Structure formats: C-alpha cells, structure tokens
Amino acid sequence: MSQTSKIVPANKIGYDKKVFKANMDMLKRRYPKLHEQIKRVNISDKYGLALYKKRTPNLYIKVNGSYEPVYGQEHPEKFAIEQCQQQFKPHSKTVVFLGMGLFYHVNGFLQKEESKETHSTIFMEKDLELFKVALGVSNITSLLNKRNAHFFVGLEPDLIYSTMWNFFMEKQWLVLHARSTNYIVNEVLFQQEKDYYLKTVKSINEALFQCFVFFGNDPYDSLLGIEHMFLNLKNIIQYPGVNHFFDQFKNIPAVIASTGPSLNKQIPLLKKIQGKAMIFAPDASLGPLLREGIRPNFITTLERVPLTVKLLEPYDFGDDINFVPVPVVVPEMYEACNGQIFNCYRAFNHFRWLEIDRGLLWIKGSAGNMSYNLATALGCNPIILVGQDHAYGDGFVTHAENSTLGTRQGSLPSKKNMVKLPGYYGGEVYSTSVWQLFRNHYITDIADNNAKGVITINATEGGASIDGASHIPFADAVASYIDHRDAIDFTPLIREQHADFHVDLEQEKSRIHRKLQRAINVAERSIYDLLDCIDKVRAITEKYRDYVYGEVGIEDLDAEEIHRVYYDVEKMRVSTRPTDNTDYTALVLHVIQPYMIQYESQYSNMPEAFDDPVEGQLNAVLVADEYFVKVVQLTDIVRRNLMETQAGMERPFATVLPGQGKGANDTILWRNRFDNDFFHWRLQGEQVECQQTKKMVGGSLLIEEAGVFGTEGQVQLLLRNKNIFNPQLDMLPLNFNGETYDPANKIADINRQWQIQSFQVAGREQRDIFMRSTADDKVVLWLMDGHQPTGIYHLGTVSPQMELVAVGDFGGSGTDQILWRDQAEEKFRLWSFEAAALQEPDLEKKEELFGVDVLSLEGRELVIETTVQSEIPMEGWRYAGKGRFIQSDVDELLWQHFEERTLRVCNLQDASNSDFAGPGASWQIDAIGRFQDTSRDQILWGDNETHNLELWKLDSPEVDKTSVGSRPGSWKPRDNKGGAGR
C-alpha cells in the first residue's frame, strides 16, 4: 500500500492482495453464500481510506459530498478501542457489534480481560460494500474462523427478524444468555444508518423473546407438553401423520381461513372456491365455516387447554374434513373428533425422541400458523391468508361472527396496554402482545417461503399488515390464481392414505416401553449428579460463612479465588447437562430449560448488581445450590412422569369405591391409562364380578380418590386436572347401571401445588377435603356437600420440611388426624382437632372463596400438634398406606421395608407394631379396602411380572391369602426377539 495521509477513495486504492485473499478464502469456507455476495460487489467512492506510515488506516464515509472520519481525526485504532471499552459491559455472555467498520472495535473488546467470559460475538453490518473494503484492509481470518463468532452482512430490513429467529433456534445456547447481551455500536456508522440498526436491535430482542416463548418460559408449561404427548401415546401410534401428504399437492392454491373479525367478508368467495383450492383452517374456524356451508379440507389444532374440545364437539367431520392435531392437545380432542385424524408434530425434540414419524413442522404459536406451515409442507402455492387480522375488529371484537366461543374472547385491556401494529390499509391498528408475536411468526415463515418461491398473499382486507406477504384483495387473488382451475375432489386421495395406513401397535408399544426405561435411567443418573453438586457447592459456601455472618468484608477475601470459584460453579452446572444424550435433551432438558435460562441470566448479571463485581460473584456462588435443588425437583418430576407412563402401559390403576349401604363391601374401579378403559370389580371369595364400563373420565383427568362427599350417599370420584391452563378439581357421581354418566361438576380451580386427600369429621356422614399447599405451606379443610364447599377452614401453616404422610382417624375420635414427617428433625408429628373446633364462635375471617367465608383456626390453640411416640420406622422404610388391618376401630399405618420387603402395621393409639413377611420384589400394593370383610381392611397385591392378584387379610401373626385372578387390561411388552404377552 502507498504510505500517505491523503484520503483516497476506496475504489482507487491498491489493497493488500494477500490480506484480501486470506479473508476471502476463509469467508468461502465458513460463509459460502456471503462469499458469493462479496464477489459480486463493486466498490465505489462512498468510502475513503487514509493510510499512515506508522499508524493503522482510518476509514472515511462520504456525507453530503465530503468525507467524514469514522474513527476520529487521529489514532483510529485507539479511538475505536476507547469507544468500545466505554460501551462494554463486563460479564456479558453475548456481544453484538453494530457496524463493523474496519473491526478496530473488536480489538478494544479483546483487550478487556472480561472478554474471556463472553461466549459468543455477533457482527451486524448493513453495507456489503463496506465489508468488502474491510476485507482488503484488516486481516480477520482468525475472527471469521471462530466457532462462536457469527457474521450477518447486508440483510434486508424485512429479513432481519426472520434471519435472527432462525439463527437463535439453531444456536440455542444464545437464548440461554439472552439477558446477558451487550450491544456495542460504531457510533458514526450507527448514526448514518440509525433506522436500520435500531430495527436490528429490535429484531434481535424480539427474536430472542420469541425463542423464549417457543421453548417455554415456565417449566410446568414445558412439562405439560410432554405429559400430554405420553397421554396421547396410543393416538400417536394408531393414527397416520401428515407426512403422507408432503409435496403431494404441489402448486395447488391454498387458503388459510383464520377466525379473525375480517373472515366474515370473505365467506361468499370461500363458498365459491371449494374444490378449486385446498382450504385449511384452525380449530376455531370450524364452527363459523360449517354454519355457512363451507367444509375445509384440514382443521389444525395445537392448544393444550380443555376448552378447545368445545370447538369440535358439536360438529360432524364427515369423510371430507380431516383433523390434524399436534399430540400435545388434551386427549379429549381425539375423542371429540368423529372424522379422519392425521397427526402432526411441532419441531420439539420429544417428538423426535419417539422415532414415530408423523410429520414434523416448524409450527410457531397459533393454529393458524400451523395451517400455513401444513399448506407449505403439502406443496401448496400460492398460499392465501384470510381472517388473519392479528388485531381487534370494529367494536374491539376478537373473532369472526358465529365463532363457537363468541366474538369477544378474553378480557379487553386498556388502550395504554394495547400494542399498535401497522395496518393492512396503512396507519396503525390496536392489537395485543400475543397477536404481535403471532404476526412475527408469520413474518419469519413468509420470509422462508419467499426464498423458496412460494407466494404468500395476505387477503385479509383488515387488521394488521404482514411483512413479506403481498397485500391484495381476496377477489383479485381468486381471479388470478383460482378461478381458472377445475374443481378437484381431494377426499379420495386423502381417504386412501388413511385406509392404507397400518401399524403394529404391540411392537411400537414395546419399543417405546424400552425407550422409557432408558430415559428413566438417564433421569436418575442426572439426579445423582445434581445431588453430588449440591454437596460440593455447599462445601464451597461453607468456606465463606464468616462473610455471610458479617464477620469479614469482601475486601478481606481473595478476589482471584472468588473469581475462580464463580466460574467453577458455572462449569459444574454445565457438567450436569449431558446434551449429547438424546433422552436427556428431549425429555429432561426440555422441562428444566425455562428455569435454566432464567437462572443463568440471573447468575451472569449478579456481578453487575453490586458496586464491587467480586462481591456480586460471591453472592451468586452463595445461592448457587438453589439451582441444583430446583433442577433436582424438576428432573424428579420428569422421572416420575416417565415411570407413570411406563407403568400405565403395563397395568391398570385401582381406585377403591366405598361400599354403598350398611354391610356393603368396597369395590374396585380399574383404569387402564394407555387405552383409558375402565373395569368395575366386585370380589366374591375367589370369584370376581367384572364389568367393563364406558369411558367415564377424559384422558387428561386424574382420579385422586373416591368417596361419599354428599349427604345423599352417592359415591363420587374426586377428579384432578393438573393442566396449568385449567387446573381444576371436579366431582363425578358414579352410576354403573345407566348408559351415560352425569357430567362432572367443577368444585374449584386448584393448582398443582396443592396436595389433596379426603377427610372425615366426626358427626358428618360425608367425607370432606383436606389440602396442603407446597407453595406457601397453607393447610386448609373444605367441608363438602356434594361438589359444593359449605365451609372452608384455615388450619394453619407448616414449615417446608414437613412432609405430609397420611390423613386418618389414628386416635379413634371419629375426626381424622394429619401425620407429618419432620424431615429436619427426623420425627413424626400429629395434628389433631375436635369437630367442635369448627363451630367455635368468633373464628377470624381470612377471605371469601366461592361465596364461602374462610375461617381460621390458627392462633386459637384449636389445632394441637404432638410428637408421635410410637416406633414408626424411618430409614429404609416407605409408607405403603393406611387402613384398619388388625384393629377395627382406628386407622393404622402400613409400612414396607425397601430391601427386606417386611410389612409393619403401626397403631398410633396404643403404640403397638405388628410385623409380617412381605411378598417378593415384583409385587406391589394395588388397593386397600374392605373387599370381603366389612370390619377390617384387606390388601390387594399385584405382581408386576405376571399381573396376578392376591388378597391379603392380616391376622397377626398370620396372613390369610386369596388368589383373585389377574389385573384386567394388563400388558406385557415384547422382548427384542418379538415375544409378547397379554
């Protein structure tokens, strides 16, 4: 290069060919598409360079006909380094550079010691020409070659969002550190292209947020998807997938008929084009379309809430409407559909884990978007959107006329809490943050389709515009792409695919059964690793107890050691995530990821929250065990769900139904969770009267227990829905003589955090409901009359280390007591109160629920806590149930030794214990009840290998055993050689 301080236009300068070639070679290897773009770029005089004898070149940009310096008048590299270091935030995990220039800002970043803590760098440059100039001046081969450095050059403004969303979905660890992102701007270049770079920042932030939502921002939200997948396992196996239709309808026009307010105006044309175009619609559109005589080809659904069942129940699918659910919907959705079903997956790892191909699509957040992605996968082109408003209609309606759930759904926020989006006809329209997100989903998908040559037309004629789509009236779209086509009957082709589908259900069940066992083992190993980390972290924090108790200050401690420990703990967390294991990533990581993202952000930002970053690092370490404890809890929930799924495939679960009437024996209601089949048993000696009943409970509902909760004496099932979107407690009256069941009655919305058991109060014929919250440790009692609470009492609050063991009448008073295990002191404690305590005058009113006053017994010494003096076993024993096994007037506790299998019956009233030899390791207790003796309880044992059943009556020191057949609906998996047992 010539050595002069004169500003030379970039197109007139002689570049260092070695530097340029080295950069281009590396660019070709790492970013081949960008390499081809750069080859086609012509350099003009837009930029200039000033070359110095002993200094790095300076960059100039032409503004109003004259060159302005990008890096000040002197010492360009020093200028950039100072500018960068002023903007750099220590401990940032991701750094985004806006405006690359000659890459001098990067040197400032790398000179900071804290830059070693940065995991990823992202470089955004608007101008391809400037990037080419930089490639001839600065050798950035090492930067281009870094795996954690990512370059985006020359992106069109409308493509920034979709490009970054796809990028973050591929590099998911960046989402993990989203809240620890630092933007560093080249101030001159930023000011020259301010709108572009502001849009870049907004697009990156929105894309990161969308990824948060995609992966879930609540572990229990993520868990729900896995739970529903396993509840729908039979539906997944037995129904074909949309993959049978991929690319089968190439260049057939498609119309996506969503349920926005603008749908109504398009109804006449939709009627006209049936058969000439494929019509896809989300579940909410089924009602409005059918009422107008329009029969869509495909109905899509993905919501996990029970309310969506109402969108299907009233309607006849016939043989021409095909239902396409993502199998995270409630199982009742499959039951509600009377047409052909084709499964479809969202692009989640747990569906890949199944290895049952049903068609996997990058579906985003709405059923309308699902329809769009399905039409794309089937090869349809063009794809026309109608009713896709993403905004409020006139009068702030949310949905089209005749919508099954009404035209105004959800609460209307105040205008200050609404979002404004660019309108279809210009201006702005009122929307919500959720609809804004759905619109962004379309923008991403349309950008991808545009690159593939798939035409997307937004013919909504209302609501918000959608970037990337053509906006023309529906009539014009029909005239251009549909009117000239002959009508086609799509039904025979679709029916043929459904009829030709065959699957070996037993083989698939057995394969999944083996995968479940492998995943259970992985979850258990993960828990052991996490528990080991808890011990290590607590040993570390113990070293700093003097700081915790204020005996030393941060200045008295070794800063380098704290810095090292801070990163050692971070590495420890990473070491507990075996991301190369598909069982772990698909099932465990999917659930813990939302909490992990939240925690990593908090941990990374802790140093900045303190005046002294070292003190921030130390405080992050001191609370680090919280992460491992929480992840142990979440991983254990996943483990238990996997075990319950596996057990539900093998055997039915039993619920004891109390005998109705004096002298009546208890009966058993068996439920097979895989098939959701029910069997009602009455035991007569060694004979069993078995009645297979109709489906009485939807697949997503759990049976807590059965009892008589009302004065009319009818047995009712206490049902629980743990769906976080509809956490509900219901009561279902049982009647085995009729053809139909009365509908379940809702009692209340009850979250997962509540433990529930029935409770007996002396003098009341019916049973009541006892609950303990694991969130705030409240203990409450609901007095019931059928499904209606008639009295609600706050009994008190327990410490978190108190584990609820059992509820029963252990003292013979007629009113149940509550047995707690104090895990901190390894003691058992008993709560007791007299029935008269509930009638005490002047009980404090705490609140009102369901029109009933909540009265408090706390602080009145009405609830008495005592330490249990009986020899209740602790280590090596597990609680197995309660019943009146030996004495007929008090409830007794049944314990079983883990290894020796010995049974112990504990009587808390007289502090006596009775031991019995237990069955083999393959036997478990299925039920406890008065099946053949109305004075004492018997134990129903089931063998998990043979599924044979035995009824045990404990007559100390002997056991009276009776064989009573085998579990109904039980199943044994095939071995790897194909052997099977049923």
Within 10 angstroms of residue 605's Cβ, the number of other Cβ atoms is: 17
Rounded-to-integer distance, Cα 524 and Cα 455, Å: 49
Residue 840 has pLDDT above 50, yes or no: yes
Element (H, E) at 953: strand 948-955
CB atoms within 10 A of CB 316: 9
Whether the predicted pLDDT of 982 surpasses 60: no
pLDDT at 16 over 90: no
> What's the gap between Cα 363 and its chain centre?
15
Q: What is the pLDDT of residues 159-168, one digit of tens each?
A: 899 899 889 8
pLDDT: is 584 or 712 the higher one?
584
Residue 628 and residue 539: Cα distance in Å, rounded?
14
What does the pLDDT read at residue 552?
A: 92
Residue 892 CB-density burial (10 A; 0-12 exposed, 13-18 middle, 19+ buried): buried
Most confident of the ranges 400-414, 683-697, 775-789: 775-789
Instruction: Tell if the pTM clears 0.75, that is, is over it.
Output: yes
For the cut 70, the answer to whether the pLDDT of residue 981 exceeds it is: no
pLDDT of residue 322: 97
Instruction: State the CB neighbour count (10 A cutoff) for residue 800.
Output: 11
Cβ neighbour number for residue 593 with a 10 Å cutoff: 22
Give residue 187's pLDDT: 94
pLDDT tens column, 777-808: 999 999 999 888 999 999 999 998 899 999 99
Q: Sorting pLDDT into bands at 50, 70 and 90, what band is 4? A: very low
Q: Which of 443, 449, 438 is nearest to 380 (CA)?
A: 449
Give the lowest-confidence range in 645-659, 753-767, 790-804, 856-870: 856-870
Q: State how beta strands 958-966 and 948-955 pair.
A: antiparallel
Predicted pLDDT of residue 965: 92
pLDDT (mean) for 284-288: 95
Rounded to whole angstroms, the Cα distance separating 953 from 939 reads: 7
Summarize pLDDT for 646-678 with one digit per residue, the tens: 999 999 999 999 988 777 899 999 999 999 999
Q: Give the pLDDT mean for 515-522.
A: 97
List, as own/partner pairs, every contact residues 452-458 make where C-beta atoms lie below 8 angstroms and the sequence separation is at least 24, other chains included. 453/381, 454/376, 454/381, 454/382, 454/383, 455/381, 455/382, 455/383, 456/382, 456/383, 456/384, 456/385, 457/382, 457/383, 457/384, 457/385, 457/481, 458/385, 458/388, 458/424
Contact 135, 108 (CB under 8 A): no
Q: How many CB atoms lie within 10 A of CB 761?
A: 20
Of the candidates 135, 195, 136, 124, the one whose C-alpha atom is nearest the C-alpha of residue 163 is: 124
Q: What is the pLDDT of residue 740?
A: 55
The mean pLDDT of 23-28, rounded to a whole number, is: 96
pLDDT tier at 738, thresholds 50, 70, 90: low
Q: CA 550 to CA 547: how far, in whole Å?
A: 5
Which residue has tokens 């007629």? 814
Q: What is the pLDDT of residue 273?
A: 96
pLDDT in tens, 130-167: 999 999 999 999 999 999 999 999 999 988 998 998 89
Query: Any idea what DSSP says for residue 978?
Result: S
- Strands 254-257, 278-282: pairing is parallel
Contacts (Cβ under 8 Å, ≥6 apart) of 567: 117
Q: Exposed/middle/buried for 199, CB within 10 Å: 0-12, 13-18, 19+? A: middle
In this predicted structure, the answer to whether residue 449 has a pLDDT above a threshold of 50 is: yes
CB 314 within 8 Å of CB 403: no
Q: How far apart are CA 548 and CA 545, in angstroms?
A: 5
Specify the 3-state DSSP secondary structure of 425. coil
Q: Please say whether the beta carbons of 770 and 707 come within 8 A.
A: no
Domain boundaries, the chain: 7-215, 220-389+472-499, 505-642, 696-868, 870-982
SS3 483: coil
Whether residue 1 is predicted with pLDDT greater than 60 in this model: the reply is no
pLDDT at 125: 96
The confidence band for 2, taking pLDDT boundaries of 50, 70 and 90, is very low
**Could you tell me the pLDDT band of residue 229, with boundaries at 50, 70 and 90?**
very high
What was the pLDDT predicted at 3? Answer: 44
What is the predicted pLDDT for the residue at 591?
94
Sequence-separated (6 or more) residues with CB below 8 Å from residue 73: none
| Banded model confidence at residue 387, pLDDT cuts 50, 70, 90 | very high
pLDDT for residue 848 = 83
| Mean pLDDT, residues 247-256 | 96
Dist CA 282 CA 275 (whole Å)? 19
The pairing of strands 852-856 and 788-797 is: parallel
Tokens standing for residue 438: 């759905």
What tens digit of pLDDT does each residue of 33-78 get? 999 999 999 999 999 998 877 778 899 999 999 999 999 888 898 8
Cα–Cα separations (whole angstroms), residue 79 to 125, 143, 637, 687: 20, 21, 54, 92
Give the separation between CA 134 and CA 139, rounded to whole angstroms.
Answer: 9
For residues 520 and 663, the model is more confident at 520
| Average pLDDT over the chain, rounded to an integer | 91
Contact 98, 200 (CB under 8 A): yes
Alpha-carbon gap, residue 199 to 23, rounded angstroms: 29
- Nearest alpha carbon to residue 46 among 194, 196, 192: 192
How do residues 459-483 score in pLDDT, each as one tens digit?
999 999 999 999 999 999 999 999 9
Q: How does DSSP assign 637-705, residue by residue?
A: HHHHHHHHHHHHHH--EEEEEPP-STTPPPEEEEEETTTTEEEEEEEETTEEEEEEEPP-S-TT-EEEE
- CB-CB contact of 203 with 160 (8 Å): yes
- Share above pLDDT 70 across residues of the chain, in percent, rounded to a whole number: 98
- The 8-class DSSP code of residue 499 comes to H
β partners of residue 754:
773
Instruction: Output phi, psi for 906, to 5 deg.
Output: -110, 125
Q: Do 103 and 143 contact (CB within 8 A), yes or no?
A: yes
